């Protein structure tokens, strides 16, 4: 009996050792809740706003796919020293957006582990390689201008609109594969949002080129 | 129930069915999607219209200009974007985002803003 019990315990420890994230994710979820992040951020897809009024009641972006959306290193640093990404809530100047809470380094690391565990099957790894490509640039700035609503880096500093989240530094912040998946499945990720749905309007190739272009945006130093 | 009352009710129900299905809360739709560029009062001064914005978004309060456009023209631009009417692509296509009922509601809203009926026929 003893050898069997010891074998069982050893196997259990081996499983935990092979998946160190499991314990981290649990701790991270506890830390997430202790910091009351859920007061502003939903981590359940089922909780997505169904209409404009419900959307207007939300205080922060949904995080049920955060692990597919963000780059881990960026997220861990940002939670300690948050910078402005959105200029206004829901694209409305009447709705001012406050500063995001700052977490301690330990809490940020734990919350990051938790958020990185929240993923979407719609994001296929290895789809998009960042590249400043002329076709993506043409669509972004002229043909279907994302620049109308999204700030982006230029040679001088930045240009673009203010109702969408800034894409300056998107190449450091966002998973390139998620950028494409978002364009191709926007209603799945965010059923109600001020951004148009370009499915059936932009071709798949166009979306790939735009995603590659956006993924090339680095932060200004 | 009295026959006349019943007939009246049926007639009214039929009339309501025949009316276009305007979206509920059109003001919310306008404020959420359109005001980003056209401004909350439709004057073309939304928060995206920075000094670098390449065109001036349509000012819906300008009745003289709005009267040059029919309701079909407005629907065309909203659904398929500026290039569908030889206008700037800064106006995106909303056909995959808004329902036809929402767009019909928006057109009524724009006519209220300009206090004009637009080109007829």
**pLDDT tens digits, one per residue of A24-50:** 889 999 999 999 999 999 999 987 888
What CA–CA distance (Å, rounded) separates A146 from A167?
10
Residue A4 has pLDDT above 70, yes or no: no
Interchain pair B89, A91: CB under 8 A: no
Of the listed ranges A1-5, A85-89, A136-140, A175-179, the least confidently predicted one is A1-5
C-beta separation of B32 from A52 below 8 A = yes
- Average pLDDT of A200-216? 98
- Average pLDDT of A183-191? 97
Residues of A in contact with B53 (CB under 8 A): 148, 161
The model scores a pTM over 0.80:
yes
Interchain pair A148, B90: CB under 8 A: yes
C-beta separation of B118 from B70 below 8 A = yes
Residue A145 banded pLDDT, cuts 50, 70, 90: confident
pLDDT of res. A66: 98
- Average pLDDT of A52-58? 91
Picking from B25, B48, B93, the nearest residue to A163 by CB comes out as B48
Residue A151 has pLDDT above 80, yes or no: yes
- Dump pLDDT digits (tens) for B22-39: 445 999 999 999 999 999
Interchain pair A161, B53: CB under 8 A: yes
Residues 6+ positions from A177 with CB-CB distance below 8 Å: A68, A123, A124, A125, A126, A127, A128
Q: Distance from A88 to chain B by nearest Cα, in Å?
A: 10
DSSP state of B28: H
- Average pLDDT of B79-90? 96
User: Among A171, A4, A155, which Cα is nearest to A74's?
Assistant: A171
Residue A15 has pLDDT above 80, yes or no: no
DSSP E strands: which ranges in chain B?
Answer: none
pLDDT of res. A92: 79
pLDDT of res. B19: 44
Residue B21 banded pLDDT, cuts 50, 70, 90: very low
ipTM of the prediction: 0.86
Residue A16 has pLDDT above 60, yes or no: no
pLDDT of res. B22: 46
Residue B20 has pLDDT above 50, yes or no: no
How many CB pairs below 8 Å do chains A and B form together? 66
Residue whose pair of structure tokens reads 């005001």 in the numeric block: B35
Residue A67 has pLDDT above 70, yes or no: yes
């Amino acid at each position: 009996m003893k050898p069997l019990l010891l074998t069982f315990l050893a196997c259990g420890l081996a499983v935990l050792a092979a998946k160190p994230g499991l314990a981290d994710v649990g701790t991270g979820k506890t830390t997430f809740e202790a910091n009351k992040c859920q007061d502003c951020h939903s981590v359940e897809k089922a909780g997505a706003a169904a209409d404009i009024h419900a959307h207007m009641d939300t205080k922060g972006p949904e995080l049920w796919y955060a692990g597919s959306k963000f780059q881990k290193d960026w997220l861990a640093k940002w939670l300690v020293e948050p910078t402005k990404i959105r200029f206004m809530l829901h694209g409305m100047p009447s709705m001012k957006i406050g500063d995001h809470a700052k977490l301690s380094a330990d809490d940020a690391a734990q919350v990051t582990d938790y958020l990185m565990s929240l993923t979407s099957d719609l994001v296929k790894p290895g789809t998009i390689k960042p590249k400043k490509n002329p076709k993506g640039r043409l669509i972004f700035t002229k043909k279907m201008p994302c620049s109308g609503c999204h700030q982006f880096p230029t040679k001088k500093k930045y240009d673009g609109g203010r109702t969408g989240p800034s894409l300056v530094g998107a190449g450091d912040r966002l998973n390139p594969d998620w950028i494409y998946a978002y364009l191709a499945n926007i209603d799945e990720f965010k059923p109600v949002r001020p951004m148009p749905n370009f499915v059936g309007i932009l071709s798949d190739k166009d979306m790939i080129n735009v995603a590659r272009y956006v993924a090339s945006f680095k932060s200004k130093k | 129930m009295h026959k006349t009352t019943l007939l009246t009710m049926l007639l009214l129900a039929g009339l309501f069915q025949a009316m276009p299905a305007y979206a509920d809360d059109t003001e919310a739709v306008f404020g959420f999607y359109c005001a980003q560029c056209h401004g909350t009062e439709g004057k073309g001064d939304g928060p995206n219209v920075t000094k670098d914005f390449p065109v001036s978004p349509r000012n819906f309060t300008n009745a003289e200009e709005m009267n040059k456009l029919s309701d079909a023209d407005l629907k065309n631009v909203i659904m398929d974007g500026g290039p569908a009417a030889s206008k700037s692509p800064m106006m995106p296509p909303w056909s995959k985002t808004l329902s036809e009922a929402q767009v019909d509601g928006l057109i009524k809203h724009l006519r209220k803003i300009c206090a004009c009926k637009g080109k007829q026929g």
